[in-house]
Amino acid sequence: MANNEASPFESSDMLATFVASTPLLAESWRLCNHANTSPAAHRSFVAERIGRVAYVALSGVQMVGGCWYETWRNMVALDRMDDVAVFSCIREGEEPVMVHAGILNLFNSLLHSFKTQMLEILENKDTKSVVITGHSIGGATASLCTLWLLSYLRSITSCVSVLCITYGSPLLGNNSFSTAICRERWSGNFCHVVSKHDIMPRLLFAPITPLTSQLNFLLQFWQLSMTSPDFGKLAVQITDKEKAELFTAVMDYSEAATQGDEEGESQGEASATILFRPFGNYLFVSEFGAVCMDSPAAITKMMHLMLATGSPDCSIEDHLKYGDYVDKVSWQFLTQGNSSMQRSIPESSYEAGLELAIQSSGLANQESLIIPAMECLKATRRMGPSPVLNAAALAVSLSKVAPFRAQIEWYKALCDEQDEQAGYYDSFKSRSCKKSMKVNINRFKLARFWNDVIEMMEKNELPHDFDKRAKWVNASHSYKLLVEPLDIAEYYRKGLHRTNGHYMENGNRARRYEMFDRWWKDRTRRDGATEENSERSTFASLTQDSCFWAKVEEARDWLDSVRSESDTNKLALLWDKIEKFEVYANQLIEQKEVSKDVLAKNSSYSIWVGDLRELKQLREKLKVFPHQLTSILDGEVVP
């Protein structure tokens, strides 16, 4: 496929049909409805197991007291959830990831019980998948619960699959939030079902400060109606004028959001007020079918176009009709779609797909909206090579950078045989070998190649299972073991640790290495293997901990601190760190998990071992003759 060739298929209708063909929508909505109507589940969740799939539904009746009343559009930063780091792909200088403050508070109030439930589900060896679902506010809370679970499963390298299905969920986070989820390759874990006219998923486009009290009444009406239609009649009703004002405000600001996306605006009054952006996949449902989209800009546009066909009254009523939509979409799949097509189907496969998507969205009878809707769908069309072809091209590129890697391997072998007996790491750090300059250039070339691979992954330009393919997992791991020691050597050669902290602190380590660590751990988990290989008879060709030399540099710093530290508490902490590293290094050596350059006579590690031995001997003498040697350690006695 040529670089500028487009995909020959329009898949939004096909993807929606596929989702409808599974029991996911029917089962998740059934449990959502149960969570909404069951008094015991209010402000909580219900769980159920169907075969090997565990379903957890968050109740949409979460805050009749009105937690949004005072925190309508407040946003807070999200970097950790409980004790779990969420995103590993945030780049320096980017806008922080922000989420709705009220929804985050709801999540935090449920986290303990939700975490307990999840751990119980994961302990069951039969669990293969977890579906987390929720309607309305419960949908947004379900999204945060899913984020926590995805982050937690990544930390323990679990193979359980996770899917979040929401119904009429409000927007949750800012553009950085949406981007971060895409970079983590978690977009496919979220499916947001949005009906044609439901105003709730579109509310947060608008800064409706003058109408917050009326909005609070509307939220109470929705939540009481979820519990029982009769209870909804007890809620304070907002006037037709207030409904119209709310509808108009959301329409205006959702249109501003689409214009900002189209023009690439980053400033200006309209775009500045659009704080929230969609993320994940959206399944738009109407009385004629469903379409599935994953582009935030296209989703925003479709949300506006579909709402434009509604009215203030139906935009409020539609929030309570998801059960009807789910039944209709499932029934249309069983009956092979809508038999009465409103428009003729073109012969071109792509144009036919567009026409089917327009009819499924319910916009086919809105002449003024058909062209904008088609442009919206066309904007999501994949241009350029397919992910499979990109992966094939990368394999060719990998073969082209192989000579750079081979030259570094040759350089390592040369360093290991040098008379100086400094080893690979220290030879590069001191640039004692004439070949070091060429190796440094190759180091940059390899880093550029692997950074490009990571960027393509984050842009979804590679197959979804790319990071699970043995070829790339093994290649990235070998690259990391070979080249990261050189990066560490360069870091300390330039003295960057004096200003930025040690290599493994404050995000100094390149993100590609952290990702490759994760790929390798996932590989060992999938293969059912442990990281400890069978017992080695010779030392490894490459030290199996690519950060070993960074840990040596830290240990050297601790030794220097011991010599000058007089505070007994701080001394105890330093000695504890030193002894733990000593045990760790000895274990690696005993298991022959290090390369022989680690044990070279003049390597940084060997020098550190010698210094540690002398300091321990001095420490033992101090215990025997404390008064006589105190002055020596204080530097008062000079030989």
CB 97 within 8 A of CB 174: yes
> What is the length of the chain?
639
Q: Cα dist. 47→103, 120, 164, 467 in Å?
A: 21, 11, 14, 32
Cα 219 from Cα 63, distance rounded (Å): 9
Question: Is residue 192 annotated as part of the catalytic site, yes or no?
Answer: no
Residue from 319, 477, 497, 502 carrying the catalytic annotation: 319
Q: What is the DSSP string of 515-557?
A: HHHHHHHHHHHHTT--SS-SPPSS--SS-S-TTHHHHHHHHHH
Q: What is the DSSP string of 280-314?
A: SEEEEEETTEEEEE--HHHHHHHHHHHHTTS-HHH
Residue whose pair of structure tokens reads 């999840």 in the numeric block: 118
Question: Is residue 368 annotated as part of the catalytic site, yes or no?
Answer: no
Question: Is residue 136 annotated as part of the catalytic site, yes or no?
Answer: yes
Q: What is the DSSP string of 613-625?
A: HHHHHHHHHHHHS
CB 187 within 8 A of CB 280: yes
> H helices within 124-203, ranges in order?
137-156, 175-183
Helix axes 387-416, 436-458, angle to 10 degrees: 160
Q: What is the enclosing helix (H) or strand (E) of 498?
A: helix 497-500
Tell me the sheet residues that pair with 164.
132, 190
Find the farthest-apart pair of alpha carbons in the chain and give their distance in angstroms, rounded.
101
Residue from 44, 59, 136, 361 carrying the catalytic annotation: 136
Cα 247 from Cα 308, distance rounded (Å): 10
**Distance, first Cα to last Cα, the chain:** 77
Cα 311 from Cα 135, distance rounded (Å): 22
Counting Cβ atoms within 10 Å, is residue 362 exposed (0-12), middle (13-18) or buried (19+)? buried
CB 312 within 8 A of CB 250: no
Which tokens go with 449? Answer: 């190649």
Residue from 42, 44, 198, 436 carrying the catalytic annotation: 198
Tell me the backbone φ, ψ of residue 507, rounded to 5 degrees.
70, 25
Q: What is the DSSP string of 195-245?
A: ESS-SGGGGGGS--GGGHHHHHHHHHHHHHHHH-HHHHTTSPPPPHHHHHH
Return the active site residues: 136, 198, 319
